[in-house]
Structure formats: C-alpha cells, structure tokens
Structure 1
Amino acid sequence: MFIQIIEGRCTRRQELRAVLDRWPVELAPGADGWLGGTYGFTDDDLFVAVVRFEDRDAATRNSQRPEQGAWAEAMVAAFDGPVEFHDSDDVTLLFDGGSDDAGFVQVIRGHVDDPGRLRTLIASDPAELHRMRPEIIGASLAIEPDGSFTETVAFTDEASSRRGEQAELPEDVRAELAWALQGATFHDLHEPWFSSP
C-alpha cells in the first residue's frame, strides 16, 4: 500500500471541501489503484488528508493525469499558505486499516530512530488491543525513509476514545508508547469524512 498525507492551514473550509468533494465524482473513476481517503479539520484550521493507493506506481500514474494536475491546483489555491505532502509505501495496518464508519479520527505525526520497533509495536497482539480498547476500529501507520511517521487511528466516537485513554496499560506497552510518541503531535479530526471506491 502507498499513503500520501496532505496537510495545511485552511480557514476557507467550505471552499476546500467543495473542491475535495469533486474528486470522487470527477476523477476517481480514472484513478486505478485508488483505495480511499480520510479527511478532516482540526480546531485550529489545520486540514489533514490521508489518501491510500494500492502502491506508489498507481499514485504516480494518477498524479500524472492532466485532470489531476488541474484539480490539485484548485485544491492548493483554497489553502491559506503552503501545503505539505508526505509519501510513504512503508505501511502497516491494524484491523484492516481504518473504517469509513469512524466518528472520530486522530492523526499522529512523529519521528522514530527505529522504524522496525515501531512496526512491531503497532502489529503486536491486536486481539489484546481490541480487548483493552474496543473503540479503536482501525489504524494505519505510514513511515517515511527518514523515520518520520503518520499514524491514523479510527475510533467509534470521541467520547469512547477519551475514556479509552484512561485505560491501564501493561508497563511494557506504556514504555513502548512513551518511546514512540515522544515529541509527536496529535491532530484531532472531530468531524472526519471519508471517500472510497
């Protein structure tokens, strides 16, 4: 799988949303290998999109289409300033990735010096995680070559997520999470929306 993260400040939310809503209708039919996307705004007007393709080649073919280039120009024009793009084909999924049924999504951006250790943490004992945190209905971890990562976690709803944060975790899990999340930033998407083929 290949994931592209798009983020930037946007106070013209309706304008950007209108451009984004055109993509599944007008461009998705010709985007071979597109698997879906998760989108939302934080309280401080940061827009975050996590777009999934089967692989990097499929994403590249899509970006080379003239109609994609024109659409991307319109999208970028709706932002208040620069837009960041982060690409990764080092992707680990939890519970099949995410869910378009999520009522709350948290996007975590961070950096680690040992990507293999982080992959192991995400993939270890999903049954036990589901028992402890049943409100987590999926997640994806995208790691860039320099160790930067974006984890996208889908929850049933925000209230359940906040209660789950108080769960008592085993000491070894707490230590690994503290290592992985040191210096990370958390972007809460209170009203996420989704698109899929």
Structure 2
Amino acid sequence: MFIQIIQGKCRDVDRLHRQMDRWRETLEAGAEGFLGGTYGVTDDGEFIGVVRFDSRESAERNSRRPEQGAWWEETADCFDGEVTFHDCEDVVLMLDGGADDAGFVQVIQGRLSDPERFRAFMSQPMETLHEARPEIIGGTVAIDQDGFFTQTVAFRTEEEARRGEQLELPEEMRGQMEELNGLMQDVSYHDLHHPWFATAGRR
C-alpha cells in the first residue's frame, strides 16, 4: 500500500468538501489503484487528507492525468498558502485499518529516531490494545523516506475516545507505550471532529 498525506490551511471547507465529492463522482473511476481516503479539517482550519493507493506507481499515474491536474488547480484555491504532500511507501494497518462510519479521527505526526523499531512495534498483533482500548476501531501508520510519520486513529465517537484516554493501561502495555513514545520526536496531534471518508467503489 502507498499513502499520500495532503495538508494545508483551508479557507473554504464547504467548497473543499464539494470538490472532494466531485472527484469521487467524476474522476475516481479512472484512478487506477485508488483504495480510499480519510479527510478532515481541524478546529484551526488545517485540512488533512490521508489518501491510499495500492502502489506509488498507481498514485503517480493518477497525478499525471490531465483531468486530475485540472481538478487540483481548482481545488488548490480552497487553501491559503502552501499545500504539502508526504509520500509514504512504508505503511502499516492497525487493527482493521479504520471504518467509514468512524465519528472521530485523531491524527498524530512527528519524526522517528528509529523507524524500523517503530514499524516492528506497530506491526505486532494488537489484541492487547484492543482489549484495553476497545473504542479504537483501527487506523494507519505511514512513514516517509525522511522518517516523518503520520498515524490515524479512528474512533466511533469522540466521547468514547476521551473516556478511553482516562483509562489506566495494563502494566505491560504502559512499558511498551513508554518505549514507543521514546522513538517519537516533535509530536503533534490533530483532531478531526467531523471526518469524512472514501472507499473505492463505495458511495
């Protein structure tokens, strides 16, 4: 799997949402290898899109389509300033990867001191995490070539997520989380209170 992270300061959320809907209606059918996406805007107006393709090659073919370029030229007008793109071939799915009916998504970003150890940790079975935090329904982890990571964590509701944050983890898991946190630097959290989703072939 290949993930592209798209971020920028959004000045017209409604128009952006319409543009994303139009892409699905008119361009998705020609986007070979498109798997889906998770999208949202934070309280301070930052748009985050986590777009999944089956490979980098498929994503690059989509970017080269003239109709894709024309669509993006219109869509870029929804943003103030630069829009950034992080291309990630290093991808790990958490649990079931999330769900299109999630009501809240938290996006965690930062830099990794040891991407291989981080990947190994995130790739292990998550039964213990699911037992301790059943409100987590899945997510993705994407790491770019510079060790910058973007993690999405999907929840049914924000209320359940906040309650889960207050729970004390089992002792073994606390140690694992401390080790995991030690691998992350310059960490930031971005809450998508009203996320929307796309899954290829599903309307």
TM-score range, shorter chain: over 0.9
Residue 81 (structure 1) aligned with residue 81 (structure 2): yes
Aligned to 1:184: 187
Aligned amino acid, residue 178 of structure 1: N
Aligned amino acid, residue 51 of structure 1: V
Deviations 1:100-140, CA, capped at 9 Å, x for gaps: 11110011111012111111222233111100011111111
Aligned to 1:103: 103
Aligned amino acid, residue 176 of structure 1: E
8 Å contact from structure 1 (residues 3, 53) kept in 2:
yes
TM-aligned CA deviation for residue 81 of structure 1:
1.2
Partners of 2:45 and 2:7 in 1: how far apart?
A: 10
Aligned to 2:148: 148
Aligned amino acid, residue 190 of structure 1: H
State the identity as a percent.
Answer: 54
**Alignment gaps of 5+ in structure 1:** none
Range with greater deviation from structure 2 (185-194 or 97-106): 97-106
Aligned to 2:55: 55
Range with greater deviation from structure 2 (71-80 or 164-173): 164-173
Large movers: runs of 4+ above 2 Å: 180-183
TM-aligned CA deviation for residue 96 of structure 1:
2.9
The structure whose residues are more often strand, as a share, is 2
Deviations 1:13-39, CA, capped at 9 Å, x for gaps: 112111111111000000111000111
TM normalised by structure 2 equals: 0.93
8 Å contact from structure 2 (residues 138, 155) kept in 1:
yes
Task: Tell me the matched-pair count.
Answer: 197
**Alignment gaps of 5+ in structure 2:** none
TM-aligned CA deviation for residue 42 of structure 1:
0.3
Residue 194 (structure 1) aligned with residue 169 (structure 2): no
Partners of 1:164 and 1:138 in 2: how far apart?
A: 14
